[in-house]
Structure 1
Amino acid sequence: MSILNYITWNVDPEIFSFGFLSVRWYGLFFALAFVFGQIIISKIYVAEGRTEGDVDLLTLYMIIGTVVGARLGHTLFYDPDYYLSNPLEILMIWKGGLASHGATIGILLALWMFSRKYKFDYMWVLDRIVIVVALGGFFIRMGNLMNSEIFGKPTDLPWGFIFERSMQYSHVPRHPTQLYEGLVALLLFVLLYWLWKKYKSALPRGLLFGIFVTVLFTSRLLIEFLKENQEAFEDELILNMGQLLSIPLILAGLFILFRVWQKPTSVLPGGRLTAANSKK
């Protein structure tokens, strides 16, 4: 017989408020993702001959790409009719609504612009940035947990959570899918950072990015089977929106890993472009 039958979860999403100022756990974890991310990526860049000035520019591009991509991803993938009819609400991020697939697309585009402008090898940048993106994914899912959102279907497993603040689903133990996804992201961070620490510039170009995309979105595809759908229209789909958006990313990751295995290539120290590459 199990010692635990379920875990009651009744955390206030708000840490404290003072007048009009409100500090929430989600916002804190979102900020921590960038703070720890900048510390780690600074260490990586300096170890490979880049400057902290490069990191400051990279962080700026990352923040813009993440926030804009995540918000547009939510509005276009999950509720386009409403937001196209109420375009000003797209700007109201404080009301909630960020999509990880949109953030992924936003980051990829922002880093492509960064690499092109400042003469970095694009894949070198991606190979390093996914280390901290994996850690950021852990923090974001912890924020979702504190918000009692994005949880799973009913379960009789002893670690099922009763999310008392979600009135529609209270009193029924459910899969804590925020924890599942958060732990995958944390383990992925440990793996990627260990590989970089051990091999650094000897890593084949694209290896870390290929591992990240394949593992993260395969886990997302599988964990989605345990989740409640976020929008009503998903109830009519064989696979929900999160799964449909994960499939092309998984295929892209597998293709990159196949290319790495078939013909591994290296990059100049510090991700610098060769003369030939800089013309592309």
Structure 2
Amino acid sequence: MSHFVWNVDPVLFSLGPVTIHWYGALFASAIFAGLYYMKWVFTLENKNVDTLDNLLMYVVLGIIIGARLGHCFFYDPDFYFANPLKILAIWEGGLASHGGGLGAIIGTWLFCKRHNVNTLWLLDRLAIATAVFGIFVRSANFVNSEILGHPSDVPWAIVFERVDSLARHPAQLYEAIAYLLIAAVLTLLYRSTAIKERVGALLGLFLILTFSARFVIEFFKQQQASYTLESALNTGQMLSIPFFFVGVFLFLRAKQTPAVTGKK
């Protein structure tokens, strides 16, 4: 069977000493797409859009720091404990979405504490923007030929020629499509139901859907961690389980929580 061959240069363009990579361009696009979405939400709810620039700083720093530390300590702890200065070498690659999620939550909490905003109320709305963010990031992973799937003969398998000649599951695209569907579902519920009035419900549903999808897609991915667990589940799946149950707790709890506004 003839499979689609992917061999895109990770460099978008170079101009003298300046080099722009596809990953950086798509990561920046993810940030601005999430910001645009939040501006739309704040406009709909008559909130102060000007505060979003400050929120962006907290969340982006949280994502980058959390994703880097998550990669270092969740997926390759032996190497980074032995070479702690390498933790700072973010240009060498290595970001973990679970750590990025935790970092985003911490960054949002710090922002809300400073600006007297209800944290869960804001996280409900950021959940949808995060799904939009994920579409771009996983697309960037696809362009970079990283986070590869297992070899496969399915008709839609792809040969990542920069890596090897094997046809593989495009696991990055599976995840990007999952985020697209999650963003669409959450947006529809946000616009057409009263779910946004139940604090924690949108965040809970986001966690349930995202980490259910992540758990399943991990079966199609190659091992990302530098170690092997004595379990049928891999590291990504083990890390997804707590997020899933937090989501269930938040969603069920939201049914009994009075509606709130953004302010505490």
TM above 0.5: yes
- Selected match of 1:142 from 139, 142, 167: 139
1:210 equivalent in alignment to 2:204: yes
- Selected match of 2:24 from 19, 24, 27: 27
> For 1:220 and 1:98, how far apart are their aligned partners in 2?
16
**In the alignment, is the contact (CA less than 8 A) between 2:141 and 2:172 conserved in 1?**
yes
In the other structure, the counterpart of 1:183 is 177
Residues 1-280 of structure 1: pairs in structure 2 closer than 5 A: 5-166=2-163, 170-199=164-193, 203-234=197-228, 236-261=230-255, 263-268=256-261, 271-273=262-264
TM-score by length of 1: 0.90
Percent of counterpart pairs with the same letter? 41
Cα RMSD (Å) of the superposition? 1.6
Cα distance, 1:87–1:202 mapped onto 2, change above 3 Å: closer
Cα distance, 1:225–1:202 mapped onto 2, change above 3 Å: closer
Unpaired runs of 5+ in structure 1? 274-280
TM-score by length of 2: 0.95
Alignment: residue pair count: 264
> For 2:230 and 2:5, how far apart are their aligned partners in 1?
31
Unpaired runs of 5+ in structure 2? none
**In the alignment, is the contact (CA less than 8 A) between 2:229 and 2:235 conserved in 1?**
no
> For 1:174 and 1:47, how far apart are their aligned partners in 2?
43
Cα distance, 1:235–1:201 mapped onto 2, change above 3 Å: closer
Q: How far does the alpha carbon of each residue in 1:109-132 deviate from its partner, in whole angstroms, 9 at most, with x for none? A: 111111111111111010000111
Residue type of the partner of 1:109?
A: I
**In the alignment, is the contact (CA less than 8 A) between 2:98 and 2:239 conserved in 1?**
yes
Which has the greater radius of gyration? 1
Residue type of the partner of 1:140?
A: V
> For 2:19 and 2:234, how far apart are their aligned partners in 1?
33
Secondary structure of the corresponding residue to residue 162 of structure 1 = strand
